[in-house]
Amino acid sequence: MKEINISTSFKQFESINELPNEIQDLMQEAITIRKNAYAPYSNFRVGAAILLENNKVVCGSNQENAAYPSGLCAERVAIFYAGANYPGLKINKMAITAASDTNPTTEPIPPCGACRQSIAEYEIKQDQPIEIYFMGETGIIYQSDSLKNLLPFMFNKKFL
């Protein structure tokens, strides 16, 4: 048996004000779209904003459905919208924020596994990392230089 160790690193920002101006604006877009989430079942609202290489910002919020799990997370709403409407444009950065209607969310909330896999697909497709910033409703923000930090063993087309 051989043991392997994998380590990742993230940057931590104490507040939105510490972020670079471009990312502050992107996170504000995510906060704004988070309020449009349709979350009557979980009462958990998520907003995602994507910065494309042409500086266009694409946003998405989670959309739930009584026929669970037919809804979609904010990250996938945004990334699929970008892929459908801006094919060929690279995704440079993504900002994610989450808030609960019932509990304070002050810790960074990362994308779920399904969203990580979807983001990984685009990162692999464009052969360029996607910078990801994520936070709760308030509090610190984590920055990952690549989705690989969040999903070091990515499933991809080479396995098919």
Active-site amino acid positions: 75
Written in H, E and C, the secondary structure of the chain is CCCCCCCCCCEEECCHHHCCHHHHHHHHHHHHHHCCCECCCCCEEEEEEEEECCCCEEEEECECCCCCCCCECHHHHHHHHHHHHCCCCCEEEEEEEEEECCCCCCCCCCCCHHHHHHHHHHHHHHCCCCEEEEECCCCCEEEECCHHHCCCCCCCHHHC
Task: Provide the token pair at 51.
Answer: 């910065």
Q: How far is CA 148 from the centre of its chain?
A: 13
